[in-house]
Amino acid sequence: MRFLHGLWASQGIFSFRWDDPVTKKAILSLATLVVIYLLVLLVTKILNRAIKDVRWKYKTRKFLYYFGAFFFGIGLVLIWADFAGQFALVLSVIGAGVAIAFQQPLVSLVGWLRIIINRPYTIGDRIEINGIAGDVIDIQLLKTVLLEIGGTGTSRSAQSTGRVVDFANGFIFSQPLFNYTRGTEYLWNEYPILVTFESDWRRAHDVVLEIVNQHTARFESGARAQIAKMAEHYLIQFNVLRPIVYVAIRESGVELTLRYISPARQARQIRDAISRDILTAFQREPGVELAYPTTRSFTRINEEPKYLQKKAGREE
């Protein structure tokens, strides 16, 4: 510390006399910061009143902040240009220490540059990173701000929890990033329904497929157009976009899995509408019943006559 203090003092940097050039430059730098800040603040207030669209209001405000920071940096360079040689030695001494002490902020700053240049996501996108999902509401130099949505994975409720979540931009280098709305706003949804073994599963299949078609068929053309646009940049192809119902045998019944596309932000509303119509339709179908986990038991005394009858029939 004595070495650095002596180094700074030898250059006259710690000499804060009013007639000292360093003092004058420091005061001028502070004045430049105050003037630019007040100008940005004034212009921001004027534009906030003039611009009604929320998205454009946000973009304009961010542009003004970056614009002000840029000109403040230019001002500092012009003010301190003749001291560049004197600061070079000091900066080289403390540079390594700063790099270590501020490793994470520097990584986040580089992450911000990648976000701005490569645009893996932008304001308004719905993303998931490090297990947290939400709508991007702000991108700052060191962090990204999300408005959190509920649920996990593709089963998320697609509705806001009301919580605001911050995560460091450096996460973009170390964590998988899921963008729910980049390229295409449509996602595949899977919705399993279980009916009893005694049910007419073929009839249940047809009823469910008809209902899903009613609610999601209108999305096929839009999804196909967006996927075709994505195919211009990625190796991606979906031949079948219409709803499908798969059949599987489970322990407690026959499982009908609905697979369909819908806008990412409407997933919960569409599933709600489909569920209501399925419940109503099954009430009108006497041969179809929803299943749930059950346990069945029997005694050999009650079952032996049936077993013997089946055996006798085979022998004949």
Domains of the chain by range and CATH?
A: 2-101 (no CATH), 119-179 (2.30.30.60), 186-283 (3.30.70.100)
136, 144 contact by CB (below 8 A): yes
| Torsion sign, CA atoms 288, 289, 293, 294 | negative
Terminal CA-CA length for the chain: 105
Distance of alpha carbon 258 from alpha carbon 244, whole angstroms: 6
Residue 149 CA neighbour count, 13 Å, CB half? 25
Residue 61 pLDDT > 60 = yes
48, two tokens:
């906030």
138, two tokens:
């702000």
Query: What is the edge-to-edge ordering of all strands in the sheet holding 160-168?
Result: 160-168, 143-149, 132-139, 126-129, 177-179
pTM (global) more than 0.85: no
User: pLDDT tens digits for 139-161?
Assistant: 888 889 998 887 555 554 567 78
Distance of alpha carbon 136 from alpha carbon 147, whole angstroms: 7
Assign 265 a pLDDT band (cuts: 50, 70, 90): confident
